[in-house]
Amino acid sequence: MSSFDSALAAHNLPGLRRGAARILQLNLTKRCNLACHHCHVESSPRRTEAMDARTVQRALELLAASPGISLVDLTGGAPEMHPSFRMLVREARRLGRRVIDRCNLAILDEPGHEDTAGFLAREGVDIVASLPCYSEDNVDGQRGRGVFARSIAALQGLNRLGYGIPGSGLELDLVYNPVGASLPPAQAQLEADYKRELGAKFQISFGRLLTLTNMPIRRYADWLVRRGELERYQGLLVNHFNPEAVPHLMCRDTVSVDWRGELFDCDFNQVLELPLGEGRRTLWDVECLDELEGGRVATATHCFGCTAGAGSSCGGALVS
């Protein structure tokens, strides 16, 4: 029994089980044009891991065979850098699925990607864009020099295409990660702050702000170790365990797929190579993603990150 399972038991909560699969999250590549300090995937321009054509095709076959999947979540690295990215988008949209592109914004002005924003708009893809702060110093400190200015220019370009404009049908949400070893502030209040600052200074409009807790794994854990803050941060997450967040955890309805085609309960388990609670399986071991319903969710200490405070998921805070 993991320490997280023990916490569930202490609150008279049952062990985590998967519900009906609703979201198919594909981690297309670890390659990225950035190398952010908080990146739990440890993506960078030097990484080469990427889904091959056979794996991409199998993911599309399972999507067609799994009518319960309503959302395809494309992530990375920078998913736009994968050679099959546009084909995947077109096919998922043809199958009637909503598609999210998890975009770092700075990719949109990279050579060869100047028309990516226009492509996403034509296909009606929702964009979830990472902007860890509305302050230039904080963003550049976490993501690299000049990234804030590039991100602002990208957001302004997306607004011109209709993204984030009420009534356009083009959804643009932003993602906040704490810069330091702390929990995110209240999502609603921070969203109001973002809208005020970005609107007044840059005339930028967007839909929602999603607050995500940084997970103490891989590159972010190494950063905490160098600062001597890992133990304190892990204690912070454990001490702020919120049982009200448990019913809303993303592992209940998300199937996370890595670049090799292996299945995981969430993106964080994928990075840690912690297989499904029922054991290691791949895209070729199932005929329909509905088969995973009822399976046990694999847990470990990092799961406290999703249940600390207001909770955290790829869709932002879990409770108000």
Residue 1's pLDDT band, with cuts at 50, 70 and 90, is: low
Is position 309 within any domain? no
User: What span, in angstroms and rounded, lies between the C-alpha atoms of 21 and 72?
Assistant: 11
Least Cα distance to 5 among 214, 241, 207 occurs for: 241
Is position 239 within any domain? no
Query: Is the predicted pLDDT of residue 207 greater than 70, yes or no?
Result: yes
Tokens at 39, concatenated? 């990146």
- Helix or strand or coil: residue 186? coil
Query: Is the predicted pLDDT of residue 179 greater than 90, yes or no?
Result: no
Is position 272 within any domain? yes
Is position 201 within any domain? yes
Is position 313 within any domain? no
Q: Mind listing the pLDDT tens digit for each residue in 55-103?
A: 999 999 999 999 999 999 999 999 999 999 999 999 999 999 999 999 9
Average pLDDT over every residue of 184-191: 95
Within the chain, where are the H helices?
A: 3-10, 53-65, 85-94, 116-123, 136-143, 147-161, 187-202, 218-226, 230-239, 267-271, 304-307
Q: What predicted TM-score, i.e. pTM, was given to this entire model?
A: 0.95
Q: To which H or E segment does residue 23 belong?
A: strand 23-27
Query: Residue for token digits 């990092």?
Result: 302
The CATH code of the domain that includes 159 is: 3.20.20.70
Count of domains forming the chain: 1
Is position 150 within any domain? yes
Torsion angle of C-alpha atoms 228, 7, 305, 212, degrees rounded to 10: -150
Q: In terms of residue numbers, what domain contains 292?
A: 19-229+249-296
203 CB-contact burial (10 Å; exposed 0-12 / middle 13-18 / buried 19+): exposed
Is position 237 within any domain? no
User: What span, in angstroms and rounded, lies between the C-alpha atoms of 24 and 66?
Assistant: 10
